[in-house]
Amino acid sequence: MRAEQPDTLLQLRDGSMYGLTRYWIDGERFHYVTDYGGEDNVPLERIDFAKTAQLNASRGTRFNLEKRPNRWPMVEPGEYCRSSLTAC
């Protein structure tokens, strides 16, 4: 699988860094899709927000927290949205 160019960088407090193509907040968790296609989530308190904002600002990228997936849905016509099982 070819990695997508990350739109956003995420820095966690433990030093881990991820390139993200999509991200959103659901409750107290930060959900994301990485540039290599992996999907995961972490508690908000694990994110180093200051470093994440700094990294993205230096690249000219805005880090916007949304309560819904940004640029979602990203499915082909005829596929189904994960959360609702209805056609997108």
pLDDT-derived band of residue 4, with 50, 70 and 90 as boundaries?
low
- Whether the per-residue pLDDT at 48 is higher than 80: the answer is yes
Task: Please choose, from the candidates 55, 67, 56, 63, the residue with its C-alpha nearest in 3D space to the C-alpha of residue 29.
Answer: 67
What count of other Cβ atoms lies within 10 Å of the Cβ of residue 71? 12
Helix (H, G, I), strand (E, B) or coil at 81: coil
What count of other Cβ atoms lies within 10 Å of the Cβ of residue 83? 11
pLDDT at 6: 66
| pLDDT above 70 coverage of the chain, percent | 69
pLDDT-derived band of residue 63, with 50, 70 and 90 as boundaries?
confident
Interatomic CA distance for residues 39 and 74, integer angstroms:
13
Helix (H, G, I), strand (E, B) or coil at 53: helix
The domain locations on the chain are 1-88
Cα 35 off chain centre by: 9
- 81 compared with 60, residue with greater pLDDT: 60
